[in-house]
Structure formats: C-alpha cells, structure tokens
Amino acid sequence: MAGWLQATVVIAVAVALHVPLGDYMAPTLGSGRHWRAEMVLYRCCGIDPDAGQRWPDYLRSLLAVSLVGILGLYLLLRAQAFLPYSLGHPGMNPALAFNTAVSFTTNTSWQNYSGEAALGYLAQAAGLGAEAFLSVAVGLAAALALIRGLVRHETDRAHAHSDVCRADLWCCNGARVPHLLARPVTRPTRRGIALRNRR
C-alpha cells in the first residue's frame, strides 16, 4: 500500500509541476541569448556557443565533458591528502577513486565508503557535489538533443557545451541572480555588428 501511495504522490507532484517547470526551462534552455556568466565560461573554455554542432560532434562533446569530469574527480580523490580541507584523510586508493568518479559522473552516486570518514570538505564539495550537478546537466543536454531531434528538421543549431552550461547554471544550480546578470552583453557577430543581449 505504501508503494502505491508513494507512486501516486510522485506522479501528482510531476503533473502539478510540469507546466511551471516547463515554462521556466523552455526559454532558459532554448534561448539564443546568453547571460554574462555563460559568456565568461565560453570565453575561458574557447567555445563559440552560436556555432552549431551536428549530432556526432554534439555526442563527442557530451562524452568529452563526462570524461573530463571522471578524470578531474579521480585526480581530486587521489590527491586529497595534499589538498586543503582534507581533514587529515589520505587519498583514496585507485580502484575506489575510479569507481567513485565514474559513479558520480554517470549519476548513480554509488558509494563504497562512509563519506565523512573518507573524504574531506574539498573532495565532498568541489568533487562529489560539483560532479553531481554536472552529471545532471549532461543528462539534461542529452534529453534536450533528443527532443530537438524529434521536433526539428534541422538539428545542427545546438551546441553541447552551451546546453550543458545553461542546464548546470540555470536549471541545476538555480543560480539566476538577475541584478548581477541583467547587464547587457555586447559581442561581435560574424557580420561585425555588435549585438546586445538582454534577459
């Protein structure tokens, strides 16, 4: 009986929230305009968010983001003893660090250790916490690509890194701070005309 009640509550919440969440996520993820925080990330990574990607490039980009996440988290967990806020914990052994990095990147979050007994603050917050959000953003970008492929004739207008960035910043983290980001972003276009983007 408790299982049916739980399923009913989950379905009722999903039905109640699908319109407001959809109204928030559709313009956020589908807009061609870019916020200041996005443009800073694009510049730092050397990404042109307006350059479309065909599906093989999009797939390679999503896989690259996941592989970089695995490698970064693995190195952080291995080097924990030498990092600040490790609370005296040694680095994880290679097998456990790899298993943890892959599980958090694939969003299974399987843990074969006690988090507080094996990890310091930096590894938990910057490692596991950041990868938990990034893995959701990659999943949202993959779902977005699938939806675009089903409803559009032309699917090469999207950019994987732009989708992951938006999903992570605006949907996963809820980092929308309008008073900091409302300043217009001026950037040159291919025709040399400056565009002002406002949100």
**CA atoms within 13 A of residue 144's CA, in its CB half-sphere:** 30
Beta carbons of 76 and 127 less than 8 angstroms apart? yes
| Measured CA distances, 153 to 20, 143, 147, 156 (Å) | 27, 17, 12, 9
Query: Picking from 67-76, 106-115, 122-131, 142-151, which range would have the lowest pLDDT averaged per residue?
Result: 106-115
Q: What is the pLDDT of residue 192?
A: 43
Share of the chain above pLDDT 70, in %: 84
List pLDDT tens digits, range 155-182.
567 788 888 888 888 887 764 444 344 4
- Give dist(CA 163, CA 151) in Å, integer: 17
- Give dist(CA 120, CA 14) in Å, integer: 36
H helices present in the chain, as ranges:
2-30, 36-45, 55-78, 94-105, 115-118, 121-122, 130-151, 160-166, 178-181
pTM of the model: 0.75
Query: Picking from 11-15, 19-23, 116-120, 175-179, which range would have the lowest pLDDT averaged per residue?
Result: 175-179
- Give dist(CA 85, CA 75) in Å, integer: 16
